[in-house]
């Protein structure tokens, strides 16, 4: 995958347009949602040897979304 590439993830009631970018050598994913909810920018980080998804900037009020949509991105990348 190259910076600037986009891919689409279709869920039952939602489509995610995901852009791939490199920022300071870190992979980040910009998500635009088909249902009009606010966009997210996600990064998979590692803490204590365990990966986790985080939003840039932090979005404490959207943690469940960050985890859910981050997992969908990881699944897509693993299978494509």
Residue at 15 is within a domain = yes
Given a contact cutoff of 8 angstroms between Cβ atoms, the answer to whether 30 and 41 are in contact is: yes
Domain total for the chain?
1
Residue at 22 is within a domain = yes
Output the pLDDT for position 39: 96
Given a contact cutoff of 8 angstroms between Cβ atoms, the answer to whether 29 and 19 are in contact is: yes
Percent of the chain with pLDDT over 90: 76
Give the mean pLDDT of 72-80: 94
Output the pLDDT for position 4: 86
Pairing of strands 26-33, 50-55: unpaired
Residue at 65 is within a domain = yes
What is the rounded distance in angstroms from the CA atom of residue 11 to the CA atom of residue 45?
A: 24
pTM for this predicted structure: 0.90
Residue at 1 is within a domain = no
């Amino acid at each position: 995958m190259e910076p600037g590439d986009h891919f689409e993830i279709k869920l039952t009631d939602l489509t995610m347009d995901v852009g791939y970018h490199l920022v300071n050598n870190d992979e980040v994913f910009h998500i635009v949602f088909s249902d009009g909810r606010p966009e997210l920018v996600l990064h998979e980080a590692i803490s204590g040897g365990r990966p986790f998804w985080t939003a840039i900037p932090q979005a404490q009020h959207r943690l469940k979304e960050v985890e859910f949509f981050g997992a969908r991105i990881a699944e897509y990348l693993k299978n494509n």
